[in-house]
Amino acid sequence: MTTPPARLAVAATLDTKGPAVRVVLDELRRRGCPALVVDTGTGAPRAVVPDIAARQVERIGLDALGAEPGTGRGRLAAMGAGLAALVDESRRAGSIGGLMAIGGGTGAGICSAALRRAPVGFPRMLVSTGVTDDVSALVGVGDVHLVQPVVDFHGGGELLEVVLRRAAAAMAAVVSLPYRPAGDRPQVGVTSFGVTEAAVERVVAGLEQRGFGVCVFHARGSGGRAMEAMVDQGALAAVVDLTTTELTDEVAGGARSAGPHRLEAALRAGIPCVLAPGALDVVNFGPPDSVPEALADRPTVRHSPTTTLVRARAADGEAVAEDIAAKVAAAAHPERVRVVVPARGFSALDAPGQPFHDPAADAAFTERLRRVLPGGVPVRVVDAHLADGAFAAALLAEFDAVARLAGLAPPTAGTPPTATTAATATTEGTKGSEAT
């Protein structure tokens, strides 16, 4: 399953990180991994001669930004844009198989656009003293390997050498693996949450039976953003967005919103899109003391020491319905959009006898949605709970309908594409009782 070694792009400000890059190159060489060194520094390179000079990176960046040569911060922005454009182009041309960025705070900032813009699945690593902060601002939602060197680049030393050699060894191994080991079935995005798990399992099993690949995204803010990013990158052929709970957090001030643009990517791309109000009854907060005073009288569940769930109100559901309708109204292909609502409860907590069971609040969402959703987009209400087989069956039936409309069919329905996939356990994992 190994392929000829792909060339790894190594990006750093060589005026300050040249000695670190030299250690990395030495380890890559020992492992037979060819490298392309890109300088993003503002001073003369030290210890290493770059393959792509900083001047060249800056020029590409200025072109990309349509800007004039500048100094200071303008120069850093040009360098960042230049690196991103260069990595993008080299990746498309197949001349690099991965990106390893090395930097302190400033260096990581320069590499940030390149790390964020590369599509999910493209091997990437960031080695930076900035990795102890909230890293999503630096690397987005992508599958980046992150390494915190603990000791500063400044000063070198044995421990830094160990850290750098390990990072280089790890990336040499990563780029030696093929990019898509399991063929190219069309991939369908599915959103999940612990309280929507039963529906997710049925839908995943159904999609795999149909011959689709499935990417499941945990709808905790980062998951929804990751799915949107993968849709934008063209990596998903359709979505069954059955756990839209992040929309509730957005309107009700919860902690797990995916931002105001959640839901837009699939509608903009015009790919088949089946929506459901999974976990719309739940607003997520952190530890109990993070729940706003104003919500103290609502039904509340302590899910874990760091997660407290609060029941959304009818007004929240109505606001989410308005939000969904406005976004659907801008869809490129409204005929490929379907909404399916489980009349007997939106999550495991919203089942009869459970703390969030509130049919009136659920109905407020459904009624408002029916009223405001653009004509031609059907709202199918199923007389079942989200966890019931009938609801999952309805989602899959609607998926089949929009997939047919869009001409989307898996190449080899019913059979996984390669023996490799069948031999691994990931496929089986979808049939069992995994908790989220």
Closest CA to 343 of 325, 366, 320: 366
Out of 222, 253, 326, 370, name the contact with its own copies by CB under 8 A.
222
Q: How far is the CB of 329 from its own copies (least distance, A)?
A: 30
CA distance 196 to 309: 14
- Residue 340 in 3-state DSSP? strand
Stretch that binds its own copies, among 153-161, 245-253, 331-339, 372-380 (CB under 8 A): 153-161
Nearer CB in complex with its own copies: 217/285: 217
Task: Give the angle 73-232-414 at the CA atoms, nearest 5°.
Answer: 150
Out of 198, 200, 392, 396, name the contact with its own copies by CB under 8 A.
200
Q: Using the rule CB under 8 A, is 65 a contact of its own copies?
A: no
Stretch that binds its own copies, among 99-107, 262-270, 320-328, 360-368 (CB under 8 A): 99-107
Binding-residue pattern over the window 263 to 302 for its own copies, x denoting contact by CB under 8 A: ----------------------------------------
Q: How far is the CB of 201 from its own copies (least distance, A)?
A: 8
Q: Using the rule CB under 8 A, is 411 a contact of its own copies?
A: no
Q: Which residues contact 29 (CB under 8 A, 6 or more apart)?
A: 35
Out of 6, 11, 14, 20, name the contact with its own copies by CB under 8 A.
20
Q: Using the rule CB under 8 A, is 78 a contact of its own copies?
A: no
Please give the helix or strand (H or E) that residue 346 lies within, else none: none
From residue 33, how far is each of 6, 29, 78, 119 by CA, in Å?
Answer: 7, 6, 29, 22
Q: Using the rule CB under 8 A, is 317 a contact of its own copies?
A: no
Binding-residue pattern over the window 114 to 143 for its own copies, x denoting contact by CB under 8 A: ------xx-x-----x-xxxxxx----xxx
CA distance 238 to 175: 28
Q: Using the rule CB under 8 A, is 29 a contact of its own copies?
A: no
Q: Using the rule CB under 8 A, is 83 a contact of its own copies?
A: no
Q: Using the rule CB under 8 A, is 149 a contact of its own copies?
A: yes
Stretch that binds its own copies, among 104-112, 324-332, 356-364, 398-406 (CB under 8 A): 104-112
Nearer CB in complex with its own copies: 182/343: 182
Per-residue DSSP letters for 60-124? HHHHHHT-----HHHHHHHHHHHHHHHHHHHHHHTS-SEEEEEESHHHHHHHHHHHHHSPTTS-E
For the chain, give the number of residues.
436
Out of 50, 82, 206, 223, name the contact with its own copies by CB under 8 A.
223
Instruction: Give the number of other Cβ atoms within 10 Å of residue 131's Cβ.
Output: 17
Closest CA to 123 of 84, 96, 154: 96
Nearer CB in complex with its own copies: 109/345: 109
**Cα dihedral sign, 309-314-317-322:** negative
